[in-house]
Amino acid sequence: MKVDVLTLFPAMFAGPLDESIIMRAREAGLLDLRIHDLREYTHDRHRTVDDNPYGGGPGMVLKPEPIFEAVEALASENTRVTLMTPQGRRFEQSIARELADVEHLLLICGSYEGFDERIRERLAHDEISLGDFVLTNGALPAMAVIDAVTRLLPGALGDSESATEESFSDGRLEYPQYTRPAEFRGMEVPDVLLSGNHAEIEKWRNEQSQRRTEERRPDLLDGPE
């Protein structure tokens, strides 16, 4: 999978995307990830990417020219151009699975007061938000999307079942997990997990997953509105 990121803050991506599963996916050739500085697509000596909004108001708005030029340089007919913006679809595991099937993903990180509307109208195929809150810019949301999508790429995880047996994989929260020792400071691992009875273990895990979801995230059980 190929992922390009267009951002005003490329240095923010150094570190988080050079560790752990993402690093291994890149080294294995599963993920072709490239970070691009939006200012490289400007032509004035001040490298201007924003301007005052027409009609007045606070803040600055990202100009169309650099973003149009960047998309025209980076995108092809197989590219899905996605804006990282608070106005987008709330990012969920189902969207991560959707994006994992995309051949080429181009993430454009919002900044300031957002995008000139013509960018939305002409360039964007999709808009994604991490939730109902506002961050300084779209770099952190882009990293979250890349991380979630990379884990779903075939071969990215050491255990192929890891991506299917975790929270949100079946619309519920994951069941409780335990490891050695079997007893720690008076707290014991449930007997069923030590029994070796796989049918009972599976039953227990399903029950615990359902109970935990009902207690903590009942909205997940309601399904899409």
Instruction: Give me the CATH number covering residue 183.
Output: 1.10.1270.20
- Arithmetic mean of pLDDT, 113-142: 96
Q: Examine residue 32 and state whether it is found in any structural domain, yes or no.
A: yes
Domain co-membership, 31 together with 86 = yes
Domain co-membership, 60 together with 146 = yes
Domain co-membership, 140 together with 197 = no
Does pLDDT of 39 surpass 80? yes
Domain co-membership, 105 together with 22 = yes
Give ∠ CA 167-169-175 in degrees, rounded to 5. Answer: 40
Q: What pLDDT, on a 0 to 100 scale, did the predictor assign at position 222?
A: 82
Does pLDDT of 198 surpass 90? yes
CATH number of residue 142's parent domain: 3.40.1280.10
Instruction: State how far the alpha carbon of 107 is from the alpha carbons of 39, 64, 113, 147, 223, in Å.
Output: 15, 15, 18, 13, 28
Domain boundary among 127, 150, 173: 150
Domain co-membership, 125 together with 199 = no
Domain co-membership, 135 together with 206 = no
Domain co-membership, 173 together with 94 = no
Structure tokens given for 43? 């032509």
Average confidence score pLDDT of the chain? 93
Does pLDDT of 200 surpass 90? yes
DSSP label of 176:
P
Does pLDDT of 225 surpass 60? no
Domain that holds residue 195: 165-225
Structurally, the chain folds into a number of domains equal to 2
Q: Examine residue 160 and state whether it is found in any structural domain, yes or no.
A: no
Domain co-membership, 118 together with 65 = yes
- Arithmetic mean of pLDDT, 207-219: 95
What's this model's pTM, rounded to 2 decimal places?
A: 0.88
Q: Examine residue 157 and state whether it is found in any structural domain, yes or no.
A: no
As to burial, measured by CB atoms within 10 angstroms (0-12 exposed, 13-18 middle, 19+ buried), residue 112 is: middle
Domain co-membership, 82 together with 44 = yes
Domain boundary among 95, 126, 150: 150
Reported in sequence order, the residue ranges of 9-103 that DSSP labels E, i.e. its strands, are 32-37, 50-51, 61-62, 79-90
Does pLDDT of 104 surpass 70? yes
Q: What pLDDT, on a 0 to 100 scale, did the predictor assign at position 96?
A: 97
The tens digit of pLDDT for each residue in 135-193 reads: 999 999 999 999 999 999 999 997 655 655 566 767 899 999 999 999 999 999 999 99
Q: What pLDDT, on a 0 to 100 scale, did the predictor assign at position 171?
A: 83
| Closest to 132 (Cα-Cα) out of 82, 85, 184, 173 | 85
Domain co-membership, 82 together with 193 = no
- Arithmetic mean of pLDDT, 92-118: 96
CB atoms within 10 A of CB 43: 9
Domain co-membership, 141 together with 198 = no
